[in-house]
């Protein structure tokens, strides 16, 4: 394929959309494309230098009149500059708000550029912001102005059609995972360090927003009564973390939980665990459950949003209704007491990841989408 010049806009934080956008950029650069990443800080997964990737930091100047400094305008300006200077073929924005509108503005300001705009919807940009009166009109406008709209699951595409009465085409490009990074390992050093020598290890990874229901994992831990004692590891940080700590304290479980924060080597912690817990009340896809599945760790989660498209109930994990603590705890107990079941489910998860959610396949799908859009250029 002809090497392309591709711009990628994303949030730099620990959230799924930023992780996906950055991993995609890294993979595309490795494939020889010229990549430009736009954000207000260097994305977490772009900490080290990568050949072929230029990071464009968007800074917003303060001004006495600015009660709300206009990041959108600053981002649009940087996008426009790079779009023109580098003749970008594609500008791929991740998370509709505000990125889809910024891409539109940047192109409107560059009448001589024929850059194609791709907008990937990730979840809360539709399910929460799409219902917020402040953004309800501007999001569908951004989608209409995009040359391609991508959703990470069938479920999210349906939601988009429903919330906005949107009838344009939507490509489905699911989340993916780098299986060289997220893989089964038998690293006793990490496991022992985490307390897994004589304890079962449960893990929860999220940004601790209330929709993750991280407190439910403590309730599950209370009900775990396998012969081996269990310890619960938390990866990530966010608004509900202190409430989760308090809950653990209230139940006298402080010595059974460990908060690891926003660490870099997420994969080794997940791979060292026995069961992963994701009791979310909404999830357009569930990147963290996919990462656990890729590491061969059975997932206990909820039957909501795009999760049933990722985890097959009874094969690579268990799906329960939101808040069904007893049901989730029963399956955790089952998995901890039956190493064969755990192993079989872990294996099934790795196979499913390879079949459906590999980085290689996703890279090809993205390149195909870009090629299709560029073939439409007059
Ligand atoms: O889950 C979050 O809180 C972060 C959010 C984001 O956009 O950064 O994640 C969403 O996008 C991920 C990547 O596509 C999906 O795997 C998550 O399921 C989705 N989160 C929700 O829908 C709540």
Ligand 1 atom at minimal distance to the Cα of residue 284: 22
- pLDDT single digits (tens) 70-117: 999 999 999 999 999 999 999 999 999 999 999 999 999 999 999 999
Domain residue spans in the chain?
A: 5-176+358-375, 188-356
CATH topology for 5-176+358-375? Answer: Rossmann fold (3.40.50)
Q: How far is the CA of 15 from the centre of ligand 1 (A)?
A: 6
Class of domain 188-356 (CATH, top level): alpha beta
Q: How far is the CA of 280 from the centre of ligand 1 (A)?
A: 11
Could you give the angle at the alpha carbon of 200 between the alpha carbons of 273 and 188, nearest 5°? Answer: 55
pLDDT of residue 377: 66
Q: Whose CA is nearest to atom 7 of ligand 1?
A: 17
pLDDT of residue 187: 78
Nearest by Cα to 182 from 21, 29, 297, 312: 297
Question: What's the pTM value of the predicted model, to 2 decimals?
Answer: 0.95
pLDDT of residue 225: 79
Ligand 1 atom at minimal distance to the Cα of residue 290: 16
Q: How far is the CA of 277 from the centre of ligand 1 (A)?
A: 16
Which portions of the chain are predicted below pLDDT 70? 14, 226-227, 376-378
Q: Which residues line ligand 1 (CB under 6 A)?
A: 15-18, 20, 95, 122-124, 152, 175, 207, 209, 211, 282-287
pLDDT of residue 48: 87
pLDDT of residue 47: 85
Q: How far is the CA of 286 from the centre of ligand 1 (A)?
A: 7
Q: Fold match between 5-176+358-375 and 188-356?
A: yes
pLDDT of residue 155: 98
- Residue 22 · residue 112 · CB < 8 Å: no
**Range list of H helices, the chain:** 16-30, 71-85, 96-108, 124-127, 138-145, 154-164, 188-193, 215-222, 241-250, 266-271, 287-294, 307-310, 325-337, 339-356, 359-375
């Amino acid at each position: 394929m002809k090497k392309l010049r591709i711009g990628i806009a994303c949030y730099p934080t620990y959230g799924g959309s930023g992780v996906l956008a950055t991993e995609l950029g890294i993979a595309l650069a490795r494939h020889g494309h010229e990549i430009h990443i736009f954000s207000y800080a260097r994305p977490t997964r772009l900490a080290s230098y990568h050949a072929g990737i230029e990071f464009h930091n968007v800074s917003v100047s303060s001004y006495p009149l600015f009660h709300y400094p206009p990041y959108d305008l600053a981002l649009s300006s940087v996008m426009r500059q790079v779009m023109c200077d580098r003749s970008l073929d594609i500008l791929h924005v991740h998370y509709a708000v505000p990125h889809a509108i910024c891409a539109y503005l940047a192109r409107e300001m560059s009448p001589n550029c024929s850059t194609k705009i791709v907008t990937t919807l990730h979840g809360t940009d539709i399910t929460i912001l799409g219902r917020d009166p402040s953004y309800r009109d501007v999001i569908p406008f951004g989608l209409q102005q995009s040359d391609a709209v991508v959703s990470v699951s069938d479920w999210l595409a349906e939601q988009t059609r429903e919330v906005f009465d949107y009838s344009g085409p939507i490509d489905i490009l699911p989340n993916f995972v780098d299986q060289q990074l997220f893989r089964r390992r038998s690293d006793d050093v990490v496991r022992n360090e985490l307390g897994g020598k004589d304890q079962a290890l449960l893990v929860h990874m999220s940004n601790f927003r209330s929709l993750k229901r991280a407190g439910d994992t403590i309730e599950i831990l209370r009900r775990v009564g396998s012969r081996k004692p269990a310890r619960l590891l938390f990866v990530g940080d966010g608004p509900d973390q202190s409430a989760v700590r308090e809950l653990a304290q209230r139940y006298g479980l402080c010595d059974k939980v460990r908060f690891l924060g926003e660490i870099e080597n997420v994969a080794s912690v997940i791979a060292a665990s026995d069961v992963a817990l994701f009791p979310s009340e909404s999830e357009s896809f569930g990147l963290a459950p996919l990462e656990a599945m890729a590491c061969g760790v059975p997932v206990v989660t909820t039957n909501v949003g795009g999760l049933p498209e990722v985890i097959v109930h009874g094969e690579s994990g268990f799906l329960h209704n939101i808040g069904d603590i007893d049901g989730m705890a029963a399956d955790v107990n089952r998995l901890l007491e039956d190493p064969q079941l755990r192993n079989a489910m872990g294996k099934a998860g790795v196979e499913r990841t390879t079949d459906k959610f590999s980085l290689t396949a996703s890279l090809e799908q993205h390149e195909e989408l870009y090629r299709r859009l560029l073939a439409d250029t007059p």
